[in-house]
Amino acid sequence: MVLTQSNCFHRYMAVVFLLAGAAMVLPLGLAAQDVEEGFKPLFNGKNLDGWLIQGLEKAGPKVQEDGVLAVGGWDYWAVISKEEFKDFVLRFDVKLDAKGNSGILFHTPKKEIYKSCFEIQLADDAGVKENEKISGAIFGKAAPAKNAMKPIGEWNSVEIKVEGPKLWVTINGEVVQDGVDYTQIEGLKHKFEKGGIAIQRNDYKKAAYFKNIRVKALP
């Protein structure tokens, strides 16, 4: 086939429309560049289908028009994925209100979550010295290698990897928990090996905002 200017133009437009169509099927809050191989959206950017609310639902988490999940309000403790995971990689972006506080819990049962799992802390604490209660910590148990959070109002990129008894946490490209064997941490030995992924609500006056939440189950 002889390529003419007209043929090239029509081929170009076909590719443009194909890419545009693919982008349109992505969930809100999940950009095209964030769909990595093997990952799937855990939050669809529209509603809480696929999630449970631990507690009452009167003023629960809100899905904003831009596809962001705002975890604040009152009368509930956390939102928990209905799907359960054992080994996985979780990625998301998060920012918090001033003095906001949240966290990610995993291997989470649907009831009495705080008796049966542990938390990766997330908070408005950029610049705070490393301790067991800042962002990236296994809350109350293991301090992160460094505080990698950005200043208030900026989005933070977070990855949590769980494989066997080991845990990795990366915040804004910085590895802050590097293959920690959480089964050897006192108080964490008798936890579930599989369960939901939960987002904690901590302060009813402050909110944490999440987007691009996606997960990959590991074999």
- Based on the structure, what is the number of domains in the chain? 1
Residue 48 covered by a domain: yes
Is residue 110 assigned to a domain? yes
Q: Provide mean pLDDT across the span 8-24.
A: 38
For residue 213, give its domain range.
29-217
Q: Does residue 14 lie within any of the structural domains? A: no
Which parts of the chain fold into alpha helices (H)? 5-24
**What CATH number does residue 190 fall under?**
2.60.120.560
Phi, psi (rounded to 5 degrees) for 173 = 80, -5
Q: What is the pLDDT of residues 78-117, one digit of tens each?
A: 889 999 999 999 999 999 999 999 999 999 888 777 666 7
Tens digits of residue pLDDT in 18-71: 334 434 444 555 554 446 899 999 999 999 999 998 875 556 788 999 999 999
Amino acid 110: pLDDT:
82
Residue 112's pLDDT is what?
Answer: 73
Task: Determine, yes or no, domain membership for 57.
Answer: yes
pTM equals 0.83
Per-residue pLDDT of 126-158, as tens digits, reads 999 999 999 999 999 999 999 999 999 999 999
